[in-house]
Amino acid sequence: MTTGSPAAPALELRGIRKRFGDVLALDGVDFRVAAGTVHALLGENGAGKSTLMRIAFGLLQADAGTVSIDGRHMTSLTVRNASRAGLGMVHQHLSLAPGLNAAENVSLGGQGVYRPRQAMRLLHALAQQSGLDVPADARAGDLSIVQQQRLEILKALARDAKVLILDEPTAVLAPPETAELMVWIRRFCASGGSVVLVTHKLREAHAIADDITVLRRGQMTYGGQARASTEARLAQAIFPNVEPLPATLAIVPAGDIVVSAQSVVLGGNHGGVLVHEASFDVRRHEIVGLAAVEGSGHRALLEMLAALRQPTAGDLRLPARVAFIPADRQRDALIADFSLVENVALFGLGAARGLLNWGALAGRSRELIQRFSIAAASETVAARTLSGGNQQRLVVARALEHPVDLVVADNPTRGLDVQATAFVHDQLRRVAANGAAVVVHSSDLDEVLALATRVLVVFHGEVRECAVDRDAIGRAMLGAA
């Protein structure tokens, strides 16, 4: 298919087919990783990337098709067999035991007696060999997200992984950290390893990969050398017929102050300080991008702006009408078993009195479904029957149904495809143009840059203003000057 390596492919999947209920998740997909190369697996959310890799790793059983690892045909594919054959996988949601230290995590799943000193030696040897440094004594839960990711890779290397599957590894990283990871991936491949980079970031894939495979709705729409393709060609393979993004609304100059924070301090639930003495204003028509790497205290700041957390010190002025779009829609925004009408009624339920007018609520729900183009059979279906994108449309529709003064959004497009993302961005821009202030955080710096008219960076609980500039923000997110 691609690089003419005479050696057996590091990983080869043939004719993989997988069905979930009515959905054909993978429709006869071929995927081949040549030894010593980086192979990017591109596609939208729900294209089947993760499903394909979970099948390769033995986490899922394919309905049809074959898997070979390092030239060996795998007859009974389990995680154990795949690991033995030299395949390692680092999941998007890291799976470390938070209470155990790095050495213990690396040795977890081993056999026989656990010997702490031996485990420590193994970790040091691996770290030296791979160039991935992790504090050996710290509890995994106390490590930064970058260190946790390194530890996950070390775990795979401890099992002699020759082929690493990295599932969206850069989703949680700041730009300099991403660059560092890419350098490491290159080195790993130069020393004979192979990497499958699962991502939906086109630029990233194009920059680092030798080969690229694109999936769309369970089918391969592109497969070939990265050099032979262009970003435009790849984009076409990823998105069948991309709707033109809505024209950016005219930028309205900032209006009066809606949020005013003076020396605000936020304490943690179990002591400690999450945000120190933050002072800032947010004005009408502004879209303030909040940039931060995980664990910087920005989540507490968002909760404070959403009036879900009280400052422990300082002056905070918030408007009366605040709409909050939480990051975890499954946990915080929707009740999956409840109907769409009930989920509409849920919004601001704490202030409701007396009887609920279900008839009126159903009417409102139907109106929202129509106005915000939510693909739902009716307003009485359970929220769980909606796709992720349509669930998020409902969340946004519900929050922006009535005029608001402040919108606080935490990763409002996480897990959404390009059209649903465009919809959410458009809604946020519209509500700002109509006079609200918007504060949005995204772990994707590109999204912050795409939306923000101003940027605040949170690092180690310090909040400061930053120029709307990719490099400056990237440095500030890591605490560099």
Partner 1 sequence: MRKPIARALALAVGVAAIAAALILLSPNGNLGSILSAFWRGSFGTWSALVSGTLVRAIPLAIVGAGLSIAFRAGVFNIGGEGQLLLGAVAAATAGLEFTSLGHAGTVVALLASALAGAAWAGIAAVLRRRFGVLEVISTILLNFVAANLVSYLVRGPLQEPSGALPQTDLIDGSARLLRLGSTRLHYGVFIAIAVCGAAWWFLNRTAAGFRVRAVGASPSAAAVTGRVDVPAVAAGALMVSGALAGLAGGIEITGVTYALYENLSPGYGFSAIAVAILARNNPLGVLATALLFAALETGALGMQRDAGVPSVVATAIEAVVILAALSVGRGAQWSARRGPAVVAS
Answer for which of 98, 348, 403, 479 binds partner 1 (CB under 8 A) is 348
- Answer for the pair 211, 3: CB distance below 8 angstroms, yes or no: yes
Interaction of residue 98 with partner 1, rule CB under 8 A: no
Residue found by looking up tokens 């919809």 in the block? 423
Give how far the C-alpha of residue 75 lies from the chain's centroid of Cα atoms, to the nearest Å: 33
Answer for which of 73, 121, 317, 331 binds partner 1 (CB under 8 A) is 331
Interaction of residue 342 with partner 1, rule CB under 8 A: yes
Tell me the Ramachandran region of residue 441: left when phi exceeds 0, alpha when psi lies from -120 to 50, beta otherwise. beta
Amino acid at 179: A
Q: For the window 47-76, what string marks contact with partner 1 as x by the rule CB under 8 A?
A: ---x--------------------------
What's the min distance (Å) between Cβ of 453 and partner 1? 26
Answer for which of 193, 326, 412, 461 binds partner 1 (CB under 8 A) is 326
Structure tokens at 35: 């030894």
Interaction of residue 112 with partner 1, rule CB under 8 A: no
What's the min distance (Å) between Cβ of 22 and partner 1? 12
Amino acid at 239: F
Residues 5-44 that bind partner 1 (CB under 8 A): 20
Stretch near partner 1 under the rule CB under 8 A, chosen from 4-12, 177-185, 338-346, 454-462 = 338-346
Residue found by looking up tokens 């401890």 in the block? 158
Interaction of residue 174 with partner 1, rule CB under 8 A: no
CA distance 16 to 65: 4
Answer for which of 10, 214, 334, 439 binds partner 1 (CB under 8 A) is 334
Give the residue among 436, 460, 461, 447 at the shortest CA–CA distance from 324: 436
Q: For the window 277-306, what string marks contact with partner 1 as x by the rule CB under 8 A?
A: -----------------------------x
Answer for which of 138, 179, 182, 308 binds partner 1 (CB under 8 A) is 308
- Answer for the pair 398, 419: CB distance below 8 angstroms, yes or no: no
What's the min distance (Å) between Cβ of 248 and partner 1? 30
The helix/strand/coil state of 258 is strand
What's the min distance (Å) between Cβ of 28 and partner 1? 20
- Answer for the pair 412, 428: CB distance below 8 angstroms, yes or no: yes
Amino acid at 316: L
What's the min distance (Å) between Cβ of 403 and partner 1? 18
What's the min distance (Å) between Cβ of 84 and partner 1? 26
- Answer for the pair 466, 281: CB distance below 8 angstroms, yes or no: no
Residue found by looking up tokens 């160039």 in the block? 131
